[in-house]
Chain A
């Protein structure tokens, strides 16, 4: 089955700086890669996703890149703000399959 590794486990950044979280996956059949943000006391919320026919996708301050050859994908947050502080999860899935999640990254944005 699919195995997803996520790094780093914690990330501290100054407000205004960029944050990058990286994930690798094992199943070459995976073609869907969502990212979730979990704020304290809440369930994870989908913030952006990318499919294998696209190399990069951007939505305001967040972007995701996918390298199918290397089997890795990354989340980029620019101009970080205190409200970006949360736990972020990456995930991967083949067509028709269930999501396999990474272990999560605790992001702390300090003013």
Chain B
């Protein structure tokens, strides 16, 4: 069964900490995405990547960075965690975008609480 795996379901971190959220997909997908989900705001795109070592800003990149050293792994980094980054974080992947659109496969999410 194809899968997107997020390393943690729940995380509690302190303000100012550097936080790493890891995502791994086993479908050989080219594209990977990080979203945050907050009540009433839907899914907001933080960063995405169409290839290894490539990254592009989404709609809300401030306070975040990403790393994609290998095709299957896409990491989200909170450089200095703040309480307004308390949220559900969702990773997704999809096949190559060049000629066609395909649906995303999502991970189960990481619920991050910053205290």
Q: Does B bind A? A: yes
B42 touches A102 (CB 8 A): yes
Given A89-B43, A102-B42, A43:B90 Cβ within 8 A: yes
Of B43, B48, B99, which contacts A101 at CB under 8 A? B43
Size bin of chain B's contact surface: 20 to 34
Cβ contacts under 8 Å, A93 to chain B:
101
B101 touches A89 (CB 8 A): no
Cβ contacts under 8 Å, B100 to chain A:
95
Cβ contacts under 8 Å, B97 to chain A:
96-98
Q: Does A20 contact B (CB under 8 A)?
A: no
B90 touches A98 (CB 8 A): no
Chain A, residues 37-62, CB within 8 Å of chain B (1/0): the string is 00001111110010100000000000
B106 touches A43 (CB 8 A): yes
B101 touches A96 (CB 8 A): yes
Q: Does B74 contact A (CB under 8 A)?
A: no
A46 touches B103 (CB 8 A): yes
Cβ contacts under 8 Å, A32 to chain B:
101
